[in-house]
A and B are shown apart, each in its own frame.
Chain A
């Protein structure tokens, strides 16, 4: 087993990704509390201060946090890309993201132009810092797998979503005369498509077969999906820039079709899995894929009948399905694999393979994860209904706050148990 230990030596210390994983659920909890506090007002339209604040609590506070944290951890493993000084790097990116997200959300909620400006600058610097730290080693890595190519394209997507976000924040703060509606849609397409969608696919190519024991993604499909999606977002951007709406609509239609294809294909792979038991990650992915398919079908429908999307409810339903139903489910499902797995690996290496690490379920057990997922599923359902029945918004908010609170409990509990086991292992090691 001594040789086997070598494989994990290049992984960054657990604290590097863990700080992101611990903070992210707190942002989701804040979003739930905001829903509970604001009530029906929040879901009236996607332009209300509360809706903008809640959206960014989830997209930056939860999604971006976990995605960057997970990338710092996983890039050495899936791409052979090692970031220099991962602990210092993670600390600065994490502080910048956390402060930037909180400032941005305050700026939206309390309509504070200065906060929006500061947040745009802080988030811009933090993400640029991340990109600079990652792009150097990434540029030296040849794209030998669809995952590496996907990660490279996703970095372009990250630059795009943050660049557009900064432009929008400055426009809002300083009253610049820009087509805000079209730019906001474009910002969302870079965020959820070019960044989130492509990164998700690049990770899915590795984690779906690895953790759920399914067949692999066909090589041709996995090479082309990220590139085609990026081309769609590029054409969409061109449509906005040149003010040619048909270009944008065409690109949206193809992007939605690509997304439906990817989700459908992943569902099919899951049906062929060799792991008999459906665990919480598997179920979270099924929920995520199904929600995303509904959202993308709605997106596709809106490109054919654009009047539909002008109603206040339509974009909120799509957003709930894609962000709460889709991305939050994928990410939480993966956290439930990654955290116990990393904990176990680090404990094993801490014990120098002389003191055995406890089984993964001692770090995070299945019933706690299942309960959290149940609350998340109920929250999603109630919130979807609440778009049409405003009296239910607070109930949905309560369930979402419960689900996020349980996630906080689970993740902090796992970190606490990890520390306890670390101490025990070191004590045992000292007695050997």
Chain B
């Protein structure tokens, strides 16, 4: 699935926990240098933020009008 921000997207909006977390970690492992990934959710994943910080990843969050949080993550 492609997206203007990046072609690497995990649309976890209709997934049950802990699937969004697992899918995100899996995709992060496949990213090449300089690539970014996008996670879409209807909530802010604070436990994931903590892991991202611990692993040295950077991220930025945008809340869209329909309630989707878009979390752009890069190594």
Contact = CB atoms under 8 A, between A and B. Distances in A.
A220 B54 CA distance: 32
Contact of A7 (B14, B47, B67): B47
A210 interface: yes
Contacts of A215: 13, 42, 66-67
B13 A209 contact: yes
B44 A8 contact: no
Interface string A271-306: 000100000000000000000000000000000000
Contact of B69 (A11, A145, A274): A145
Interface centre among A213, A215, A216, A218 (most CB of B within 10 A): A216
Given A6-B54, A274-B14, A218 B66 contact: yes
Contacts of A216: 13, 42-43, 66-68
Given A3-B25, A4-B25, A6-B54, A78 B44 contact: yes
Tell which of B14, B54, B66 has the most Cβ of chain A within 10 Å. Answer: B14
- Residue among B14, B17, B43 facing the most chain A CB atoms (10 A cut-off): B43
A219 B16 contact: no
Contacts of B51: 3, 6-7
Contact of B67 (A80, A213, A218): A218
A219 B63 contact: yes
Given A8-B47, A205-B43, A218-B65, A210 B16 contact: yes
A206 interface: yes
Interface string B45-66: 0111111001000000101111
A76 B46 contact: yes
A233 B20 CA distance: 38
Interface residues of A, number: 32
B21 A80 contact: no
B22 to A, nearest CB: 5
Contacts of B54: 6
A220 B42 contact: no
A374 B14 CA distance: 29
Contact of A10 (B43, B50, B65, B67): B50
Given A6-B54, A210-B43, 16 more contacts: A6-B51, A10-B50, A78-B43, A79-B46, A144-B44, A145-B43, A209-B13, A209-B42, A210-B16, A210-B17, A216-B42, A216-B43, A218-B65, A219-B63, A219-B64, A219-B66
14 contacts: A3-B25, A3-B51, A4-B25, A76-B47, A78-B44, A80-B44, A145-B63, A147-B44, A205-B42, A210-B43, A213-B16, A215-B42, A215-B66, A218-B65
Interface of B: 13-14, 16-18, 21-22, 25, 42-44, 46-51, 54, 61, 63-69
